[in-house]
Amino acid sequence: MTAPMPAKISLIDEIKARYSFGMPSDIELKKFEKSAVALKSIEPENGYAALGILACIKGNEKDCRRNHEAALTCSGRTSIQLTNYANSLRLLRIFGDALLYANEAWTKDQAYLSALDVIIRAMYEAGIGGESLLWHLERWATLTGKQHVVALWVREDEEDKLDIEGARNEEGELIPWEQVKAELGL
């Protein structure tokens, strides 16, 4: 079952939207922290999650984990909070744990695309490719009718790999660099 989304824009969404444009200023971070602390008395799971995301933005793994764990406890480990935690860990480049939490969220709710997005991004960023990544990318395409941006990055990586291995002739055939050098007398 897909978790319900709040009708209004949440503090978490505000933080994520602001961060998508770059590192927030110290003043903005303090404002967000003050709002997150106030939110803990109304919606503890979201207040703690917001504090966890802010700690992630600052690069503070310990506070990130502490606050996200509190959010998980308050929420009963909902897919939304598991995914928030997974994404923070992904941004901190702690890919193994990020994948554990994102997979737990995805297992609970396979219609929750945010969890699948974190899985795909964490796998790619960790250098985990192959059949598993391709399966997740195919699943994304099936559920959304669109390609995930990581599918484009994978294709570009493959093209770059070919450029490293050799040059292409006019017919598009790959010619190894050693052959190109020999033909040019290098």
Q: Is residue 163 a part of any domain in this protein?
A: no
Is 32 a member of any domain? yes
Would you report the helix, strand and coil content of the chain in percent, each value rounded to 5? 75, 5, 25
Helices 26-40 and 44-58: crossing angle in degrees, nearest 10, is: 160
pLDDT at 4: 52
Instruction: Count structural domains, the chain.
Output: 1
**152 in a domain, yes or no?**
no
Residue 28 forms part of a structural domain = yes
- Tell me the backbone φ, ψ of residue 176, rounded to 5 degrees: -55, 150
Global confidence as pTM: 0.80
The tens place of each residue's pLDDT in the chain, 186 residues long, gives 455 544 345 999 999 999 989 999 999 999 999 999 999 999 999 999 999 999 999 999 999 999 999 999 999 999 999 999 999 999 999 999 999 999 999 999 998 999 999 999 999 999 998 899 999 999 999 999 999 999 999 888 777 665 556 666 777 777 776 776 777 776
Q: Which residues of 70-94 are buried (b: 16+ CB within 10 A; e: fewer)?
A: bbbebbebbbbbbbbbbbbbbbbeb
User: The CATH number of the domain where 73 resides is what?
Assistant: 1.25.40
Q: Is residue 138 part of a domain?
A: no
In a domain, 46, yes or no: yes
Structural domain harbouring 86: 11-127
